[in-house]
Amino acid sequence: MSKILYYIGTYTSETSKGIYGTYLDSKTKEFSQPELFAELPSPTYMVTNKEGTILYSVSETLDRSRGKVTAYSIESSTGKLSKINEAYAPGLGLCHISIDPTERFLFAASYPDATVQVYPILGDGSVGEVICVKGHVGKGVNKARQDKAHAHHVCLTPDEKYLCACDLGIDKVMVYQFDSNSGQLELDEDKSLKLPDGCGPRHMIFHSNGQIAYVLSELSSQVFVLSYNAEEGFTILQTLNALEQLNIASDAAAIRISSDGRFLYTSNRGEDSIALFHINEDSGLLERLSNTSSGGQHPRDFILTDSLLLCANRDSDNIVVYKVSEVDGAIEPIREVTGVSKPVNILEYRFK
Protein backbone atom coordinates (compact mmCIF):
# COMPACT_ATOMS: atom_id res chain seq x y z
CA MET A 1 0.00 0.00 0.00
CA SER A 2 1.28 3.45 -0.87
CA LYS A 3 -0.09 5.07 2.30
CA ILE A 4 1.34 5.30 5.81
CA LEU A 5 -0.78 6.33 8.78
CA TYR A 6 0.33 8.52 11.65
CA TYR A 7 -1.68 8.52 14.86
CA ILE A 8 -1.59 11.83 16.72
CA GLY A 9 -2.07 11.99 20.49
CA THR A 10 -3.31 15.28 21.92
CA TYR A 11 -4.15 17.23 25.02
CA THR A 12 -7.92 17.61 25.04
CA SER A 13 -7.92 20.75 27.20
CA GLU A 14 -9.04 22.88 24.23
CA THR A 15 -10.65 21.67 21.00
CA SER A 16 -9.05 18.25 20.46
CA LYS A 17 -11.15 15.23 21.37
CA GLY A 18 -8.63 12.37 21.42
CA ILE A 19 -6.55 10.37 18.95
CA TYR A 20 -6.34 11.70 15.39
CA GLY A 21 -4.89 10.20 12.23
CA THR A 22 -3.27 11.57 9.09
CA TYR A 23 -2.31 9.52 6.02
CA LEU A 24 0.94 10.05 4.14
CA ASP A 25 0.98 9.25 0.45
CA SER A 26 4.43 7.70 0.17
CA LYS A 27 4.66 8.62 -3.51
CA THR A 28 3.61 12.27 -3.40
CA LYS A 29 4.72 12.85 0.22
CA GLU A 30 1.43 14.69 0.83
CA PHE A 31 -0.52 14.33 4.08
CA SER A 32 -4.28 14.07 4.40
CA GLN A 33 -6.35 16.37 6.59
CA PRO A 34 -6.23 14.87 10.12
CA GLU A 35 -9.42 13.13 11.28
CA LEU A 36 -10.62 11.95 14.66
CA PHE A 37 -10.01 8.22 15.17
CA ALA A 38 -10.99 7.82 18.83
CA GLU A 39 -12.44 10.06 21.52
CA LEU A 40 -10.28 9.82 24.63
CA PRO A 41 -9.24 12.29 27.37
CA SER A 42 -5.70 13.56 26.68
CA PRO A 43 -4.10 10.55 24.95
CA THR A 44 -0.54 11.81 25.30
CA TYR A 45 1.42 8.59 24.68
CA MET A 46 0.63 5.53 22.55
CA VAL A 47 2.20 2.19 21.58
CA THR A 48 1.20 -0.69 19.32
CA ASN A 49 1.95 -4.39 19.48
CA LYS A 50 4.39 -5.90 16.98
CA GLU A 51 1.70 -7.18 14.64
CA GLY A 52 0.08 -3.76 14.47
CA THR A 53 -3.30 -5.13 15.51
CA ILE A 54 -3.67 -3.37 18.90
CA LEU A 55 -3.01 0.21 20.01
CA TYR A 56 -2.66 1.16 23.67
CA SER A 57 -2.92 4.72 24.93
CA VAL A 58 -2.59 6.39 28.32
CA SER A 59 -4.74 9.30 29.42
CA GLU A 60 -2.80 12.15 31.02
CA THR A 61 -5.77 14.05 32.38
CA LEU A 62 -5.07 17.52 33.75
CA ASP A 63 -8.27 17.88 35.81
CA ARG A 64 -7.17 15.63 38.68
CA SER A 65 -9.33 12.76 37.40
CA ARG A 66 -8.10 9.17 37.30
CA GLY A 67 -5.70 8.09 34.60
CA LYS A 68 -6.33 5.04 32.47
CA VAL A 69 -4.92 2.76 29.79
CA THR A 70 -7.21 2.12 26.82
CA ALA A 71 -6.84 -0.69 24.27
CA TYR A 72 -8.05 -0.42 20.66
CA SER A 73 -8.14 -2.92 17.84
CA ILE A 74 -6.70 -1.59 14.55
CA GLU A 75 -8.59 -2.21 11.32
CA SER A 76 -5.90 -3.55 8.99
CA SER A 77 -7.00 -1.80 5.79
CA THR A 78 -7.75 1.66 7.18
CA GLY A 79 -6.04 1.88 10.57
CA LYS A 80 -9.34 2.91 12.15
CA LEU A 81 -9.64 2.19 15.87
CA SER A 82 -12.28 0.22 17.77
CA LYS A 83 -12.21 0.30 21.55
CA ILE A 84 -11.60 -3.04 23.24
CA ASN A 85 -11.55 -1.96 26.88
CA GLU A 86 -9.92 0.30 29.43
CA ALA A 87 -8.21 -0.19 32.79
CA TYR A 88 -8.15 2.64 35.30
CA ALA A 89 -4.97 3.69 37.06
CA PRO A 90 -4.98 3.63 40.87
CA GLY A 91 -4.58 7.41 40.87
CA LEU A 92 -4.06 10.38 38.61
CA GLY A 93 -3.11 10.69 34.94
CA LEU A 94 -0.44 8.64 33.18
CA CYS A 95 2.23 10.28 31.01
CA HIS A 96 4.15 7.39 29.43
CA ILE A 97 3.61 3.79 28.39
CA SER A 98 5.78 1.00 27.00
CA ILE A 99 5.30 -2.68 26.26
CA ASP A 100 7.53 -5.66 27.03
CA PRO A 101 8.88 -7.72 24.07
CA THR A 102 6.72 -10.74 24.95
CA GLU A 103 3.67 -8.45 24.82
CA ARG A 104 2.37 -9.79 28.11
CA PHE A 105 2.79 -6.58 30.12
CA LEU A 106 2.37 -2.82 29.79
CA PHE A 107 4.43 -0.40 31.87
CA ALA A 108 3.12 3.07 32.70
CA ALA A 109 4.35 6.13 34.58
CA SER A 110 2.28 8.64 36.54
CA TYR A 111 3.90 12.06 36.84
CA PRO A 112 1.57 13.51 39.52
CA ASP A 113 1.50 10.33 41.62
CA ALA A 114 5.19 9.46 41.14
CA THR A 115 4.34 5.83 40.49
CA VAL A 116 5.43 3.11 38.09
CA GLN A 117 2.67 0.67 37.19
CA VAL A 118 2.38 -2.72 35.47
CA TYR A 119 -0.72 -3.94 33.61
CA PRO A 120 -1.20 -7.40 32.11
CA ILE A 121 -2.11 -7.82 28.44
CA LEU A 122 -4.78 -10.48 28.11
CA GLY A 123 -5.17 -13.05 25.35
CA ASP A 124 -7.56 -10.94 23.29
CA GLY A 125 -5.30 -7.89 23.47
CA SER A 126 -7.31 -6.20 26.17
CA VAL A 127 -5.56 -4.61 29.13
CA GLY A 128 -6.12 -6.08 32.59
CA GLU A 129 -6.30 -4.35 35.94
CA VAL A 130 -3.04 -3.04 37.38
CA ILE A 131 -0.98 -5.78 39.08
CA CYS A 132 2.01 -3.83 40.40
CA VAL A 133 2.48 -0.25 41.63
CA LYS A 134 5.77 1.19 42.84
CA GLY A 135 5.93 4.68 44.34
CA HIS A 136 8.82 7.13 44.43
CA VAL A 137 9.50 9.53 47.28
CA GLY A 138 11.76 12.54 47.74
CA LYS A 139 12.32 15.94 46.19
CA GLY A 140 14.96 17.93 44.36
CA VAL A 141 16.61 21.34 44.50
CA ASN A 142 14.27 23.02 42.00
CA LYS A 143 11.44 24.12 44.29
CA ALA A 144 9.07 24.91 41.40
CA ARG A 145 9.43 21.59 39.58
CA GLN A 146 10.91 19.17 42.12
CA ASP A 147 8.69 19.63 45.15
CA LYS A 148 8.18 15.85 45.07
CA ALA A 149 9.07 12.82 42.99
CA HIS A 150 7.70 12.75 39.41
CA ALA A 151 7.99 9.49 37.42
CA HIS A 152 8.14 10.39 33.73
CA HIS A 153 9.29 7.46 31.56
CA VAL A 154 9.50 3.66 31.75
CA CYS A 155 11.47 1.24 29.56
CA LEU A 156 13.08 -2.17 29.83
CA THR A 157 16.81 -2.70 29.50
CA PRO A 158 17.73 -4.54 26.25
CA ASP A 159 18.38 -7.75 28.20
CA GLU A 160 14.84 -7.41 29.65
CA LYS A 161 16.12 -7.92 33.18
CA TYR A 162 15.35 -4.44 34.52
CA LEU A 163 12.75 -1.73 34.16
CA CYS A 164 14.19 1.78 34.16
CA ALA A 165 12.07 4.72 35.32
CA CYS A 166 13.23 8.30 34.83
CA ASP A 167 12.10 10.43 37.76
CA LEU A 168 12.24 14.17 37.11
CA GLY A 169 11.56 15.15 40.70
CA ILE A 170 14.39 13.29 42.43
CA ASP A 171 17.02 13.34 39.65
CA LYS A 172 17.26 9.56 39.45
CA VAL A 173 16.84 6.69 37.07
CA MET A 174 15.13 4.14 39.27
CA VAL A 175 16.00 0.57 38.32
CA TYR A 176 13.68 -2.34 39.09
CA GLN A 177 14.29 -6.06 38.72
CA PHE A 178 11.58 -7.32 36.37
CA ASP A 179 10.00 -10.74 36.80
CA SER A 180 8.88 -11.64 33.29
CA ASN A 181 6.64 -14.43 34.59
CA SER A 182 4.63 -12.49 37.14
CA GLY A 183 5.14 -8.93 35.92
CA GLN A 184 6.28 -7.85 39.38
CA LEU A 185 8.96 -5.24 40.05
CA GLU A 186 11.54 -5.08 42.83
CA LEU A 187 13.63 -1.95 43.34
CA ASP A 188 17.38 -2.44 42.88
CA GLU A 189 18.79 0.55 44.76
CA ASP A 190 22.39 -0.33 43.90
CA LYS A 191 21.73 -0.18 40.17
CA SER A 192 19.54 2.94 40.35
CA LEU A 193 21.44 5.96 39.07
CA LYS A 194 21.64 9.39 40.74
CA LEU A 195 22.07 12.23 38.24
CA PRO A 196 23.20 15.82 38.95
CA ASP A 197 20.93 17.87 41.21
CA GLY A 198 18.25 19.82 39.38
CA CYS A 199 18.71 18.20 35.98
CA GLY A 200 15.27 16.54 35.93
CA PRO A 201 15.64 13.30 33.89
CA ARG A 202 12.66 12.94 31.54
CA HIS A 203 13.17 10.29 28.83
CA MET A 204 15.64 7.48 28.15
CA ILE A 205 16.62 5.44 25.13
CA PHE A 206 19.02 2.54 24.53
CA HIS A 207 21.32 2.18 21.54
CA SER A 208 20.78 -0.95 19.47
CA ASN A 209 24.13 -2.29 20.71
CA GLY A 210 22.53 -2.77 24.13
CA GLN A 211 25.54 -1.34 25.92
CA ILE A 212 24.88 2.40 25.75
CA ALA A 213 21.89 4.39 27.01
CA TYR A 214 21.04 8.06 26.68
CA VAL A 215 19.02 10.04 29.23
CA LEU A 216 17.52 13.43 28.35
CA SER A 217 17.09 15.81 31.28
CA GLU A 218 14.16 18.21 31.00
CA LEU A 219 15.22 20.92 33.44
CA SER A 220 18.88 21.24 32.40
CA SER A 221 18.38 20.32 28.71
CA GLN A 222 21.28 17.88 28.79
CA VAL A 223 21.97 14.45 27.36
CA PHE A 224 23.73 11.94 29.61
CA VAL A 225 25.58 9.12 27.87
CA LEU A 226 25.60 5.97 30.01
CA SER A 227 27.32 2.63 29.76
CA TYR A 228 25.22 -0.35 30.78
CA ASN A 229 25.68 -3.97 31.70
CA ALA A 230 23.46 -6.22 33.76
CA GLU A 231 26.07 -6.88 36.44
CA GLU A 232 27.28 -3.36 37.17
CA GLY A 233 24.36 -1.23 36.05
CA PHE A 234 24.95 2.29 34.69
CA THR A 235 27.95 4.61 34.57
CA ILE A 236 27.91 8.19 33.25
CA LEU A 237 30.36 8.53 30.36
CA GLN A 238 29.52 11.98 29.02
CA THR A 239 27.25 14.99 29.56
CA LEU A 240 26.31 17.39 26.76
CA ASN A 241 24.07 20.42 26.45
CA ALA A 242 21.25 20.03 23.92
CA LEU A 243 20.77 23.77 23.43
CA GLU A 244 22.42 26.17 21.02
CA GLN A 245 21.35 29.21 23.06
CA LEU A 246 22.77 28.58 26.51
CA ASN A 247 20.98 31.43 28.29
CA ILE A 248 17.46 30.69 27.08
CA ALA A 249 14.72 29.19 29.24
CA SER A 250 14.04 25.80 27.65
CA ASP A 251 12.82 22.36 28.69
CA ALA A 252 13.98 19.27 26.81
CA ALA A 253 11.30 16.76 25.82
CA ALA A 254 11.82 13.79 23.47
CA ILE A 255 14.87 11.77 22.45
CA ARG A 256 15.24 9.43 19.44
CA ILE A 257 17.96 7.49 17.61
CA SER A 258 18.10 6.97 13.85
CA SER A 259 17.49 3.43 12.62
CA ASP A 260 21.13 3.05 11.56
CA GLY A 261 22.34 4.06 15.04
CA ARG A 262 24.47 6.93 13.74
CA PHE A 263 22.49 9.95 14.93
CA LEU A 264 20.58 11.06 18.00
CA TYR A 265 17.96 13.82 18.15
CA THR A 266 16.27 15.72 20.98
CA SER A 267 13.46 18.28 21.09
CA ASN A 268 13.81 21.51 23.09
CA ARG A 269 10.77 23.49 24.26
CA GLY A 270 11.65 27.15 24.70
CA GLU A 271 14.48 27.22 22.21
CA ASP A 272 11.86 25.41 20.07
CA SER A 273 14.42 23.33 18.24
CA ILE A 274 15.49 19.84 17.26
CA ALA A 275 19.07 19.12 18.26
CA LEU A 276 21.16 16.72 16.17
CA PHE A 277 24.04 14.68 17.59
CA HIS A 278 26.47 12.31 15.91
CA ILE A 279 26.99 8.98 17.72
CA ASN A 280 30.54 7.63 17.76
CA GLU A 281 30.37 4.11 16.35
CA ASP A 282 32.93 2.70 18.78
CA SER A 283 32.30 4.53 22.04
CA GLY A 284 28.69 5.70 21.75
CA LEU A 285 29.79 9.20 22.76
CA LEU A 286 28.06 12.20 21.22
CA GLU A 287 28.96 15.31 19.29
CA ARG A 288 26.27 17.96 18.89
CA LEU A 289 26.15 19.03 15.24
CA SER A 290 23.26 21.47 14.92
CA ASN A 291 19.97 22.83 16.24
CA THR A 292 17.13 23.35 13.76
CA SER A 293 13.93 25.31 14.42
CA SER A 294 10.96 23.09 15.29
CA GLY A 295 8.79 25.30 13.08
CA GLY A 296 6.40 25.99 15.93
CA GLN A 297 6.08 26.34 19.67
CA HIS A 298 6.71 23.70 22.34
CA PRO A 299 7.96 20.64 20.38
CA ARG A 300 6.85 17.98 22.85
CA ASP A 301 7.40 14.86 20.76
CA PHE A 302 8.76 13.76 17.39
CA ILE A 303 9.40 10.52 15.53
CA LEU A 304 11.89 9.29 12.97
CA THR A 305 10.60 7.19 10.08
CA ASP A 306 12.66 6.25 7.03
CA SER A 307 13.90 9.56 5.64
CA LEU A 308 11.41 11.73 7.55
CA LEU A 309 11.17 13.35 10.98
CA LEU A 310 7.75 14.48 12.22
CA CYS A 311 7.67 16.99 15.09
CA ALA A 312 4.53 17.79 17.12
CA ASN A 313 4.46 21.42 18.29
CA ARG A 314 1.90 21.56 21.09
CA ASP A 315 1.37 25.28 21.50
CA SER A 316 1.25 26.23 17.82
CA ASP A 317 -1.07 23.37 16.85
CA ASN A 318 1.12 22.10 14.01
CA ILE A 319 3.22 19.12 13.00
CA VAL A 320 6.30 19.94 10.96
CA VAL A 321 7.66 17.29 8.60
CA TYR A 322 11.38 17.25 7.83
CA LYS A 323 13.44 15.42 5.26
CA VAL A 324 16.38 13.66 6.95
CA SER A 325 19.72 13.42 5.18
CA GLU A 326 21.06 9.88 5.01
CA VAL A 327 24.58 11.32 4.81
CA ASP A 328 24.83 13.57 7.83
CA GLY A 329 21.47 13.31 9.60
CA ALA A 330 20.62 16.96 8.96
CA ILE A 331 16.93 17.85 8.78
CA GLU A 332 15.12 20.21 6.39
CA PRO A 333 11.43 21.18 6.73
CA ILE A 334 9.31 20.14 3.75
CA ARG A 335 5.68 19.94 4.96
CA GLU A 336 3.33 21.14 7.68
CA VAL A 337 0.28 19.34 9.03
CA THR A 338 -2.36 21.46 10.77
CA GLY A 339 -5.90 21.03 11.99
CA VAL A 340 -5.23 19.36 15.36
CA SER A 341 -5.22 21.21 18.66
CA LYS A 342 -2.33 20.52 21.04
CA PRO A 343 -0.59 17.59 19.29
CA VAL A 344 1.88 15.94 21.66
CA ASN A 345 2.61 12.39 20.47
CA ILE A 346 3.01 10.74 17.06
CA LEU A 347 2.92 7.02 16.30
CA GLU A 348 3.53 5.45 12.90
CA TYR A 349 1.36 2.64 11.50
CA ARG A 350 2.41 0.78 8.36
CA PHE A 351 -0.15 -1.19 6.43
CA LYS A 352 0.72 -4.80 5.65
* pLDDT, greater one: 262 or 65: 262
pLDDT at 1: 59
Task: Read off the pLDDT of residues 80-90 as tens digits, 9 standing for 90 and up.
Answer: 999 999 999 99
Task: Read off the pLDDT of residues 1-16 as tens digits, 9 standing for 90 and up.
Answer: 589 999 999 999 999 9
User: pLDDT tier at 312 (50, 70, 90 boundaries)?
Assistant: very high
User: pLDDT tier at 17 (50, 70, 90 boundaries)?
Assistant: very high
Task: Read off the pLDDT of residues 200-236 as tens digits, 9 standing for 90 and up.
Answer: 999 999 999 999 999 999 999 999 999 999 999 999 9
pLDDT at 61: 85
As a three-state string, the secondary structure of the chain is: CCEEEEEEEECCCCCCCEEEEEEEECCCCCECCCEEEEECCCCCEEEECCCCCEEEEECCCCCCCCCEEEEEEECCCCCCEEEEEEEECCCCCCCEEEECCCCCEEEEEECCCCEEEEEEECCCCCECCCCEEEECCCCCCCCCCCCCCCEEEEEECCCCCEEEEEECCCCEEEEEEECCCCCCEEECCCCCEECCCCCCEEEEEECCCCCEEEEEECCCCEEEEEEEECCCEEEEEEEEECCCCCCCCCEEEEEEECCCCCEEEEEEECCCEEEEEEECCCCCCEEEEEEEECCCCCEEEEEEECCEEEEEEHHHCEEEEEEECCCCCCEEEEEEEECCCCEEEEEEEECC
pLDDT at 65: 86
Average pLDDT, the chain: 97
Q: Looking at the whole model, is its pTM more than 0.95?
A: yes
pLDDT at 348: 97
- Average pLDDT on 250-274 reads 98
pLDDT at 72: 98
Q: Is the pLDDT of residue 278 over 80?
A: yes
- Average pLDDT on 305-331 reads 96
pLDDT at 62: 78
